[in-house]
Amino acid sequence: MLLCQIVGILEMHKIAGVEPKPASSASALHNIRKALTTLQKKKSIPLQYIYAAEDIYNGNPEAILGLLKCIKNSYKNFNEHLEMHKYDTRANDRIETRYR
């Protein structure tokens, strides 16, 4: 769920179809795959991470650190992006109310 929240913040929209409290490993994997699919749409996230959902779920440090590095590189201009939307009150309201 944390990965989905992080991706939602970075993408400035909530990821649809995410199980808020996954009760099974299948639900947790589904959430991870949803987040990875959303990230992959950014073309700078390699496809290898789409297939690393189980490694991420199992806590594989190489897969997790690799994904975090890719996210960092893909969103390194996030603050500038956020500044652009600073005056878009609808975007600000969505971000502030969802992540308080």
Q: Which residues, 6 or more positions from 99, have their beta carbon under 8 angstroms from its beta carbon?
A: 5, 9
* pLDDT at position 36: 92
Q: Given phi > 0 = left and psi -120 to 50 = alpha, else beta, which region is 78?
A: alpha
Average pLDDT, integer, range 5-30: 92
In this structure, what are the phi and psi dihedrals at residue 5, rounded to the nearest 5 degrees?
-65, -45
* Domain parsing of the chain, residue ranges: 2-98
Question: Lowest-pLDDT range, 10-19, 33-42, 78-87?
Answer: 78-87
Summarize pLDDT for 53-89 with one digit per residue, the tens: 999 999 999 999 999 998 888 888 766 656 665 555 5
Average pLDDT, integer, range 34-46: 83
Taking 80 as the threshold, does the pLDDT of residue 95 lie above it? Answer: no
